[in-house]
Homo-oligomer: A and B are copies of this chain.
Amino acid sequence: MTQLSLPDDLATRGEARGSIIMLVLDGLGGLPHPDTGRTELESACTPNLDVLAGRSSLGMLVPVGHGVTPGSGPGHLSLFGYDPIESMIGRGVLSALGVGFALEPGDVAARLNLANVDSEGLVADRRAGRPMDEDGRRVIDKVRSGLRVPDDVEVTLIHEKEHRAVLVLRGSGLGAGLRDTDPQRTGLPPLPATASDSGSERTTEIVRDFLDQTGEILFDEPVANFFLARGFAKYVPYLTFEERYGLRAVAVAKYPMYRGVAKLVGMNADAVPASNEETVSLLEDHFGDYDFYFVHFKDTDSCGHDGDFAGKVSAIEAVDVLLPRVTALEPSVLIVTGDHSTPALYREHSWHHVPLLIASEWARPSSAEFGESACRGGDLGTLPGKDLLSLALAHAVRLDKYGA
């Protein structure tokens, strides 16, 4: 399922040990501001990124496919060199890994949202008023203590953050072919759990019973009185970074979701920074102990979702200010890119190509600016996201020649 985008017999070189740092500015790509014609990245004052561009090969990434808007999972899997279509994985598994749950092969996981359902049984708030972490945790604990579970299945319910929780079912022969119960709009009743394949009827039964019980347990809660479930997925272990590329890899990411996708491919994702500054400090702490460093910055994406053009510009500038501490580590290869575009004008993830910079001794520089215009004229051209990892390995001189 996780085919290497390299030829099968292209061996990684044992002796060469070039280090690779990949900085992911979530949702980096943007759209031009109507007043200036410049995107968020092009509007930002980024003296350090611009100097870096001057010793980098530039290009444009297509994370999943032309016109395809990636979720965070496929966007990152693509950056990690995994075909985002063949290796598609549901949100439930990513969330479970992200909260640190030790999934075993065959476990079925779903992402839950605490929601508010009104007296007529219609969804009034899909996020239960975005409760504080402690209130969310209290409600989850309440469900957990009141829940009756079947004898043959282990049911684990874990609070994630605010209104978010994860459900994991462990038992033999459980399918994960269940439709989301989130109606995606308020004013509609939650959808019943239904199976989309014949092997998932037992799972459906368990989930229905679980949702019925939680409705009863949370009956007297003022707001968070129901769960909406989505992203049912079965955990199938992936070939790891070490198995595929011979890279010992570590992730430094503030949000559980990104640590989850990093864990999925076998990265160490124990570091939990509380800020951008701490993200770079943890990178500094780890540097030298691994071959590959995945470093995630979230604010660019959040501002994009909020339609906050100026905020996204500032989020990019904030990373630029930290960049000298990263370049001071002198990795063999330093990559700066995003997992997808989140243009502030579009207020959502989008399909637009993502600017890419690969700084290396072996780069073919073409511009002293990092931005969409410079990247579309860059030496790497427009390339599938999943091919980035082989370029990273090549620039780190970690690949053997293919054929005689």
Contacts and interface: CB of A to CB of B under 8 A. Distances in A.
A401 B6 contact: no
Interface stretch (A44-52, A88-96, A214-222, A264-272): A88-96
A364 B373 CA distance: 9
Contacts of A6: 65, 67-68
Contacts of A384: 66
Given A7-B65, A404-B90, A351 B70 contact: no
A381 B399 CA distance: 26
State how many copies of this chain the complex holds: 2
Contacts of A73: 403-404
Grouping DSSP codes into helix (H, G, I), strand (E, B) and loop, the A interface class, with mixed when no group exceeds half, is loop
Given A390-B67, A392-B67, A72 B404 contact: yes
A199 interface: no
Given A32-B364, A372-B379, A404 B71 contact: yes
A365 B31 CA distance: 9
A362 B350 contact: yes
Contacts of A373: 366
Nearest to A66: B387
Given A67-B394, A381-B381, A84 B403 contact: yes
A288 interface: no
A7 B64 contact: yes
Nearest to A392: B67
A190 interface: no
Greatest chain B CB density within 10 A among A69, A94, A349, A392 is at: A69
Contacts of A39: 364
A403 B7 contact: no
A234 to B, nearest CB: 15
Contacts of A72: 403-404
A377 interface: yes
Contact of A31 (B70, B94, B364, B400): B364
A178 B78 CA distance: 35
A37 to B, nearest CB: 8
A387 B70 contact: no
Given A346-B362, A381-B60, A402 B71 contact: yes
A126 interface: no
Given A365-B32, A377-B377, A69 B401 contact: yes
10 nearest A-B residue pairs (beta carbon): A381-B382, A67-B390, A91-B404, A71-B403, A67-B394, A66-B387, A74-B403, A67-B391, A351-B394, A71-B404
5 contacts: A66-B380, A66-B384, A66-B391, A69-B401, A230-B404
